């Protein structure tokens, strides 16, 4: 079974993250790039499925030159090879355009499953999986916290607020995962050394079959009109207990929709 894992490089959440005031895109030079956290769970799940069913795990990244660091890490975790779509024309692409670019690139690959994180820590749109499935005309299984493959079908547990749903589809399919699904492994020493020799295919948009008119900031379907830093935290609400403290707290929680 061949699995493609979609890996995005994002600014490290441990560092201060910035937007570039010139074009409102993420300022990637301002902080270190790391693998989007949920994508590590996607990689881990793909590796586990490979260990069980055989086949190959391919990393697919659409992103700038420096994303090679994240690709190397994915290979050090144990993926077999990588495809890196890297082209200046892609700069500023939004979620839909990225999904389109990924769909086109997948057209050049053979796969039974596509696994991705359910959202990224930078943009947090959470729509790439859905848009991709639509472009590819494939079933999508979202928010998976458990995946089982049986022959030509795949069954997942789809995490919900109060439990899970069981969703089943035929292969090939697109699966997005949540962090409950597994515990990602560390790159081991041997795999770090082996990663150096694993093939990374670098593609321009032309080579990946991506139409230049459909990607990039100028052709984006969404636009960032303005942005502002999050307001500083305000002083909390103090509840004074005059016999009705419990009720006041319950009211407060209800007003915030916690209960």
Partner 1 sequence: MDFSKDTVHEDIRQAVRDLCAKFPDEYWMKHDQSQEFPWEFYNAIVEAGWLGLTVPTEYGGGGLGVTEAAIVEQEIAASGAGMNGCSAVHIGIFGFEPIIKYGSEDLKQRFLPRLVSGDLHVSFAVTEPDAGTDTTNLSTFARKVDGGWLVSGKKVWITKAQEAERLILLARTTPRDQVAKKTDGLTLFFAPMDRERVTVRPIPKMGRNAVDTNELFIDDLFVPDEDVIGEVGKGFKTILAGLNAERVISANAAIGIGRAALRRATNYAKERVVFGRPIGKNQGIAFPLAEALIKLDAADLMCQQAAWLIDNGYPAGRQANAAKFLAAEAGFFAADAALSVHGGYGYSKEYHIERYFREARLMRIAPISQEMVLNYVAEHVLGLPRSY
Contacts with partner 1, residue ranges (CB under 8 A) = 69, 72-73, 76, 186-193, 195-196
In the complex, minimum distance from the CB of residue 239 to partner 1, in angstroms, rounded to a whole number = 28
In the complex, minimum distance from the CB of residue 75 to partner 1, in angstroms, rounded to a whole number = 10
- Separation of alpha carbons 214 and 232, rounded Å: 39
Residue closer to partner 1 (CB basis): 53 or 185 = 185
CB contact at 8 A, 61 and 77:
no
CB contact at 8 A, 58 and 82:
yes
Residues near 172 by beta carbon (within 8 Å), at least 6 away in sequence: 111, 112, 113, 114, 138
Strands (E), 39-79: 57-62
In the complex, minimum distance from the CB of residue 14 to partner 1, in angstroms, rounded to a whole number = 10
In the complex, minimum distance from the CB of residue 198 to partner 1, in angstroms, rounded to a whole number = 13
Residue closer to partner 1 (CB basis): 7 or 149 = 7
User: Cα dist. 18→13, 35, 218 in Å?
Assistant: 11, 17, 21
- Separation of alpha carbons 223 and 37, rounded Å: 25
Residue closer to partner 1 (CB basis): 188 or 255 = 188
In the complex, minimum distance from the CB of residue 71 to partner 1, in angstroms, rounded to a whole number = 11
Which secondary-structure segment (H or E) carries 101?
A: helix 95-106
Residue closer to partner 1 (CB basis): 117 or 129 = 117
How far out from the chain centre does Cα 88 lie? 21
Residue 190 DSSP SS3: helix
Residue closer to partner 1 (CB basis): 68 or 104 = 68
Residue closer to partner 1 (CB basis): 28 or 72 = 72
Task: Report phi then psi at 130, rounded to 5.
Answer: -65, -45
In the complex, minimum distance from the CB of residue 209 to partner 1, in angstroms, rounded to a whole number = 30
Residue closer to partner 1 (CB basis): 126 or 187 = 187
Residue 150 DSSP SS3: strand
In the complex, minimum distance from the CB of residue 31 to partner 1, in angstroms, rounded to a whole number = 15
């Amino acid at each position: 079974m061949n699995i493609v894992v979609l890996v995005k490089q994002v600014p490290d959440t441990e560092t201060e993250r910035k937007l570039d005031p010139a074009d409102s895109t993420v300022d990637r030079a301002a902080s270190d790039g790391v693998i989007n956290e949920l994508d590590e769970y996607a990689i881990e799940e793909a590796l586990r499925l490979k260990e069980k069913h055989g086949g190959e795990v391919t990393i697919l990244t659409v992103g700038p030159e420096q994303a090679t660091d994240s690709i190397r890490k994915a290979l050090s975790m144990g993926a077999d090879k990588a495809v890196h779509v890297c082209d200046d024309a892609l700069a500023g692409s939004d979620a839909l355009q990225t999904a389109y670019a990924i769909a086109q690139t997948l057209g050049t690959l053979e796969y039974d499953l596509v696994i991705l994180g359910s959202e990224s820590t930078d943009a947090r749109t959470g729509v790439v999986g859905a848009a991709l499935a639509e472009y590819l005309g494939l079933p999508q299984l979202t928010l998976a916290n458990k995946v089982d493959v049986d022959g030509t079908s795949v069954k997942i547990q789809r995490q919900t607020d109060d439990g899970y749903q069981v969703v089943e589809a035929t292969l090939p399919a697109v699966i997005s995962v949540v962090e409950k699904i597994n515990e990602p492994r560390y790159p081991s020493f041997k795999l770090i050394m082996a990663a150096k020799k694993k093939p990374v295919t670098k593609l321009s948009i032309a080579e990946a079959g991506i139409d230049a008119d459909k990607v990039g900031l100028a052709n984006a379907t969404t636009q960032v009109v303005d942005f502002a830093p999050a307001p500083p935290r305000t002083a909390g609400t103090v509840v004074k207990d005059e016999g009705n403290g419990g009720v006041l707290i319950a009211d407060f929680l209800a007003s915030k929709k916690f209960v």
